[in-house]
Chains A and B, each alone.
Chain A
């Protein structure tokens, strides 16, 4: 990596300008980690298949205080997710929360939205201090530390106890790589109080012809009996790379449902961590990657079952065409106390091209005996018989293939419970599959 000095200078400047002890402390600790370990390389087990440091042969810079140009506004308009009229729309510009571009439609009794720095100065200080940076104890690599070293312009979301949020939250990440290679590092903390219900969707767009790198970390705390749905939609340009960490901590009898959809992009790495910090939780994780071109998508999931009686189910599917690469690494840990854990995992992959590749690494690490855990993984092709059936009925080969791919994707798309979002993704997938 060439621009270590750049990060050093930026870090010193940021620390000097910020009197907030809580943030400077967390940043300092993580910048030390970053300086020590640098960016992950292929030699690190967790990064065996994704050469993220190869992207940094270019000099990435943070964007300055972005001026909001008309072209930015029109891009923002284009990336809105269906059903936005009924949603809280929050915008991150170049990795920083931009309140002026955001629209909050829920009343304050249901949803509190604050810039992270303001939250620290408010009555939520203790909450932020307790939960911000917890992900660092699970992910100790340099790229995660890089985000945490530069926490700035973050977002704090708070859903009060028992609130069934009517309007979902849509988060738009817009990055401007028009002038130089841009590094955006969004950071957010979401706190869902007991018995609350909350739906969240995130999507990304990079404009400009230089390279964009989004290095996001989001931490979500789900209190007892709360219900959270989390959706991520990645459909950015081939110059847009990402490392994306979603770290979810579940308290007693809470329920989490996630869907990660990856279509287009450059090199994308998603970390999804679930920590079962109390008993009786239920978790469903779904993922779909439909890849073509040179898109490289690496999905890492980790479920740490620390307490008994938790149930988790995972289904990740991928299709790799052209020269794309799809990676799935799913890790299920069952700690000694986590008796009666039920954990299931399945990864299904289709390889369509000679140049594409699929790597999978499902892992079980089990230290308790009264458990039921299983994983399955397949790599194959479209079903010859199904293709034959369709072609025998006069459907051309190409159309038949697209039809089967739609069916393959449908298992995951059906898991998007937010209706307008489901329609939105169906449309995206339709467009994605018909361009070939």
Chain B
């Protein structure tokens, strides 16, 4: 409990603390989107011909699509010609080690609390850092490659492991999947690539830190993780952005492939700039994340803590294709001020004896709106499919909204699907109990919210759990009135 209170003290500085801008020379291209821009991006990244073709195909498809309007979020129309699709910190040559990284950059990441050096030495987490459009540095590469794990930026993978990329890129999220995935497929600039060979248990957490820095730029990263038979990997993802008055677009695609008896654990702490108290500025976070349990007995688990972004539109999903495969989704989404979140998951049961579990906790404060949207589908051949979903919403304040839109589709007579959801405010009796013991209202609310989110927080790897808890406390600051 003492720890919780300390957290709150730290939370006293209530503004977005990652809102600084780093003055680094950036190599940008002009605003706008066209075939020429895509060709330019591809050229800058020195990509092979097939990659450019793939991008152009996605672009042609994107032109034919319409922006979706079904999510429960409102925003002015996005001018896709007013975005810079490529911004990279200037660099002279390929970096060999972290020592060669621009010291200004390293300071940025230290401010963010990700000291690459320190992480390298102490925590044993391999980090890939993506700033604006390109991957800056990847640590621990050599140690990982000794056991056959490939962990690098996706641009590097396109150059060095074209067969793997060709085989899996777009295999889980086809370029035609949705409006934003098509856009991403056309213009994605970087991201992480991860390949865990057969029988390898990745000895350390792999982590990517995303940072939007340049003005007017959009970030379109692409992450691809492949876990071969009987392998295991735990992957972490964090993100921040400077404070700016205008909205910036972030449209990422993440694809996970788990082969037989493989397990992928994917954790996200999403803390893009959420905009100010009046809803000015902030990131539009329109992300497509999907994993496929391709092999029997495989497992994919998504854990997310969503506190940032002006608008979040994100449904990390699992396709349970292999027999006996398992999908999990744990989520805490916190919205404050004018933030809007429409997030949830899809569990598509195709294989026999597949299981899925969904735990989603939504907390709304201020004038924000927080929606859970999920789909559980047991197809005809999914014998003995089993799902349990629980979505709870907590309302702090009388001007926010909490919404639940679960879809349940069952076509197999041996499937069992259960869904339950509750919405309430913090119990008067719980507050009373805390206050009676000398805990002030704000600390009491934080305590109760932490308890409310615990089930999900417990799923996060240690390093992340602490960060996530701090984040939650900071985001909540000022929401109790």
Contacts and interface: CB of A to CB of B under 8 A. Distances in A.
20 contacts: A336-B398, A339-B398, A351-B410, A351-B413, A359-B408, A361-B405, A362-B404, A362-B419, A363-B404, A364-B404, A365-B401, A366-B393, A366-B402, A372-B424, A374-B423, A376-B418, A376-B419, A377-B408, A377-B418, A377-B419
Given A349-B410, A356-B411, A366-B402, 5 more contacts: A357-B410, A359-B407, A360-B419, A366-B395, A374-B423
A375 B410 contact: no
Contacts of A377: 406, 408, 417-420
Contacts of A354: 380, 412-413
Contact of B404 (A353, A375, A380): A375
A392 B396 CA distance: 53
A371 interface: yes
B29 interface: no
A63 interface: no
B21 to A, nearest CB: 36
A354 B408 CA distance: 17
Interface of A: 45, 336, 339, 349, 351-354, 356-381
Contacts of B405: 361, 363
Which 9 pairs show the lowest CB-CB distances between chains A and B? A369-B395, A360-B408, A374-B422, A379-B417, A376-B420, A364-B404, A377-B419, A380-B416, A357-B411
Nearest to B403: A365
Contact of B423 (A357, A359, A366): A366
Contact of B417 (A361, A363, A373, A380): A380
B166 interface: no
Nearest to A333: B403
A222 to B, nearest CB: 26
Contacts of A361: 405-408
B423 A358 contact: no
B311 interface: no
B425 interface: yes
B413 A363 contact: no
A46 B81 CA distance: 34
B410 A373 contact: no
Contacts of A358: 408-410
A379 B399 CA distance: 35
A380 B409 CA distance: 12
Contact of B397 (A369, A371, A374, A378): A369
Main secondary structure of the interface of A (DSSP, over half): strand
B400 interface: yes
A369 B425 contact: yes
Contact of A370 (B398, B403, B411, B417): B398
A353 B70 contact: no
B410 A367 contact: no
B24 interface: no
A364 B402 contact: yes
A372 to B, nearest CB: 5
A378 B415 CA distance: 10
Given A361-B406, A369-B395, A374 B421 contact: yes
Contacts of B396: 369
Contacts of A351: 410, 412-413, 415
Given A363-B403, A367-B401, A369-B400, A379 B424 contact: no
A371 B423 contact: yes
Nearest to B371: A365
Contact of A362 (B406, B409, B414): B406
B476 to A, nearest CB: 15
Nearest to A369: B395
A194 B420 CA distance: 37
A330 to B, nearest CB: 11
Contacts of A367: 400-401
A356 B395 CA distance: 38
B100 to A, nearest CB: 53
B424 A371 contact: yes
A370 B413 CA distance: 39
A364 B420 contact: no
Contacts of A359: 407-410
Nearest to B405: A363
A381 B413 contact: yes
B400 to A, nearest CB: 7
Contact of B416 (A365, A374, A375, A381): A381
A47 B122 CA distance: 56
B407 A364 contact: no
Contacts of B413: 351-354, 356, 381
A369 B398 contact: yes
A375 B424 contact: no
A373 B422 contact: yes
A302 to B, nearest CB: 14
A337 to B, nearest CB: 9
Contacts of B399: 336
Contacts of A371: 395, 423-425
